[in-house]
């Protein structure tokens, strides 16, 4: 088997690997790095659709799924993923096309073509395609998210995609029972930093929500629509938060997708109770009315880039009674990052100082340093290791630490590099 790396390690945003399994060519992910402020989107190295026998989508995040529809321009191939990954990918890719009009080579017909050629695969289901056999395993990272265990010619490759080995309130732990492996392709996002235990972050968020509402303020929680919004609702519900929980924007569409796939949740009952107990905003007229009393507002976008979060920010940011809880990663150059760095937001055409109390909380969907090393320690055999999906330092240091600790040959690959397995 040969694996070609289509996006460089040392960056996050355009994942893609081409596996040649005795002549059967399978893509593992095909993502897009979103452009911001006039910067065009970036893609993994180009692969001709007719040269591919199938694409396996590890999970719905756009840096792994966003360029898959380009394989369906004037042709088609098999797309393999779990049922929630297909539903969430469609939602996120359509949203990407709506926001970045004409920035992409493909459009809605290609997304529909991708869905028509979708082959739904459950966790641990064995799929044979030409000279390859593969399984999708639970990754604990996002609803329906998977790792990929690929076998061909007696060799076994384990690709982590994005992984959160401990799972979360919404998702079960990652399935790491993979046996002996010849090549491990591992994400490296937080290989150089530890993460706060989830329980601690949850407690801090609940304390902040109670403090704000005790002083008759409203707590605004801008949040990623996929799962983070739902996780926050579950955390508040579980802590018997006394006030109303309002959910808005694209999170509501994700609620529906999550209700459709209860088997992929850690505890569907806990999820249903939290979401059914929340007030879902459907009409603009309901928004102001809903905020008449102290409450918690959960609304995308998580980095305040758009969506109804912008409306809530204008309404809530300039009253010191209120609180803003940032629970998502805040990318460089985003309004959320600016708010954290300067305490200011753009409003009414100006940069204005925010009066509400702003706090950041750690709720990453990625494994931290210890989790990543524990994961590598559970891999059997003497695998060669490729460290990808992290900044340059996270990938190269992680590779040398893996060699030091486990004796495995490891490196951070460049775009275009091919590895023989
Ligand atoms: Zn991801």
Nearest Cα neighbor of 318 from 286, 287, 283, 345 is 345
- CB crowding 92-119: b at 16 or more within 10 Å, else e: bbebbbeeeeeebebeeebbebbbebbe
Residue 141 Cα, ligand 1 centroid: separation in angstroms?
A: 7
- Which segments of 177-223 does DSSP mark as H helices, in order? 198-214
pLDDT at 255: 97
Q: Can you give the three-state secondary structure of 260-306, one letter per residue?
A: HCHHHCCCHHHHHHHHHCCEECCCHHHHHHHCCCCEEEEECCCCCCC
Residue 61 Cα, ligand 1 centroid: separation in angstroms?
A: 5
- Which segments of 41-165 does DSSP mark as H helices, in order? 62-65, 83-99, 108-116
Residue 389 Cα, ligand 1 centroid: separation in angstroms?
A: 10
pLDDT at 332: 84
Residue 238 Cα, ligand 1 centroid: separation in angstroms?
A: 26
C-alpha neighbours within 13 Å on the C-beta side of residue 106: 22
Residue 253, Cβ density class (10 Å: 0-12 exposed, 13-18 middle, ≥19 buried): middle
Residue 120: both structure tokens together? 């739904």
> 146-152 and 132-138: which strand pairing?
antiparallel
What is the full per-residue pLDDT of the chain (421 aa) written as tens digits?
A: 999 999 877 777 789 999 999 999 999 999 998 876 677 888 999 998 899 999 999 999 999 999 999 999 988 899 999 999 999 999 999 999 998 888 899 999 999 999 999 999 999 999 999 999 999 999 999 999 999 999 999 999 999 999 999 999 999 999 999 999 999 999 999 999 999 999 999 999 999 999 999 999 999 999 999 989 999 999 999 999 999 999 999 999 999 999 999 999 999 999 999 999 999 999 989 999 999 999 999 999 899 988 899 999 999 999 999 999 999 889 888 899 999 999 999 877 889 999 999 999 999 999 999 999 999 999 999 999 999 999 999 999 999 999 999 999 999 999 999 999 9
Residue 224 Cα, ligand 1 centroid: separation in angstroms?
A: 12
Residue 347 Cα, ligand 1 centroid: separation in angstroms?
A: 31
pLDDT at 8: 73
**Under CATH, which number does the domain 198-360 receive?**
3.40.50.10890
pTM: 0.95
What is the distance between the alpha carbons of residues 337 and 366, in angstroms, rounded to a whole number?
Answer: 19
Say which residues have a Cβ less than 8 Å from residue 221's Cβ, sequence separation at least 6: 232, 296, 297, 298, 299, 324, 325, 327
Residue 89 Cα, ligand 1 centroid: separation in angstroms?
A: 11
pLDDT at 37: 67
What is the distance between the alpha carbons of residues 200 and 273, in angstroms, rounded to a whole number?
Answer: 23
Residue 318 Cα, ligand 1 centroid: separation in angstroms?
A: 33
Residue 219 Cα, ligand 1 centroid: separation in angstroms?
A: 27
Q: What is the DSSP letter of 339?
A: H
Residue 346 Cα, ligand 1 centroid: separation in angstroms?
A: 29
Residue 33 Cα, ligand 1 centroid: separation in angstroms?
A: 12
Q: Does domain 2-193+365-420 have CATH number 3.30.9.10?
A: no
Residue 59 Cα, ligand 1 centroid: separation in angstroms?
A: 7
Residue 112 Cα, ligand 1 centroid: separation in angstroms?
A: 22
User: What crossing angle do the helices spanning 108-116 and 83-99 adopt, rounded to 10°?
Assistant: 170
Residue 52 Cα, ligand 1 centroid: separation in angstroms?
A: 23
Domain layout of the chain by residue ranges: 2-193+365-420, 198-360
């Amino acid at each position: 088997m040969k694996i070609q790396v289509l996006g460089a390690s040392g960056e996050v945003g355009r994942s893609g690997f081409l596996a040649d399994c005795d002549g059967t060519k399978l893509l593992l992910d095909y993502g897009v790095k979103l452009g911001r402020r006039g910067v065009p989107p970036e893609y993994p190295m180009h692969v001709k659709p007719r040269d591919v026998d199938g694409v396996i989508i590890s999970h719905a995040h756009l840096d792994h799924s966003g360029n898959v529809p380009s394989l369906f321009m004037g042709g088609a191939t098999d797309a393999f993923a779990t049922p929630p990954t297909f539903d969430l990918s469609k939602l996120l890719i359509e949203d990407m096309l709506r926001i970045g009009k004409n920035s992409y080579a493909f459009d809605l017909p290609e997304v529909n073509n991708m869905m028509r050629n979708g082959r739904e695969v459950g966790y641990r289901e064995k799929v044979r395609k030409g000279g390859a056999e593969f399984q999708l395993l639970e990754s604990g990272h996002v609803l329906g998210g998977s790792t990929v265990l690929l076998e061909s010619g007696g060799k076994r490759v384990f690709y982590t995609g994005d992984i959160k080995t401990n799972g979360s309130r919404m998702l079960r732990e990652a399935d790491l029972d993979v046996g002996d492996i010849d090549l491990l392709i591992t994400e490296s996002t937080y290989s150089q930093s530890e993460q706060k235990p989830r329980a601690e972050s949850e407690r801090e968020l609940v304390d902040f929500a109670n403090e704000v509402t005790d002083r008759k303020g409203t707590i605004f929680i801008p949040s990623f629509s996929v799962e983070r919004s739902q996780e926050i609702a579950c955390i508040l519900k579980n802590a018997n938060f006394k006030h109303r929980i309002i959910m808005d924007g694209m999170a509501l569409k994700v609620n529906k997708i999550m209700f459709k796939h209860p088997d992929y949740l850690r505890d569907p009952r806990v999820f249903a109770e939290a979401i059914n107990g929340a007030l879902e905003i459907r009409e603009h007229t309901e928004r102001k009315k809903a905020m008449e009393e102290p409450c918690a507002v959960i609304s995308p976008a998580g980095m305040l880039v758009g969506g109804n979060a912008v409306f809530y920010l204008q309404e809530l940011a300039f009253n010191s009674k209120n609180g803003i809880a940032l629970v998502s990663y805040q990318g460089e150059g985003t309004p959320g990052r600016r708010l954290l760095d300067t305490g200011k937001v753009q409003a009414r055409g100006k940069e204005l100082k925010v009066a509400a109390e702003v706090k950041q909380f750690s709720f990453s969907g990625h494994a931290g340093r210890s989790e990543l090393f524990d994961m590598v320690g559970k891999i059997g055999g003497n695998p060669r290791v490729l460290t990808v999906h992290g900044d340059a330092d996270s990938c190269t240091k992680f590779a040398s630490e893996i060699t030091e600790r486990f004796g495995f040959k490891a490196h951070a690959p460049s775009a275009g590099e091919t590895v023989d397995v």
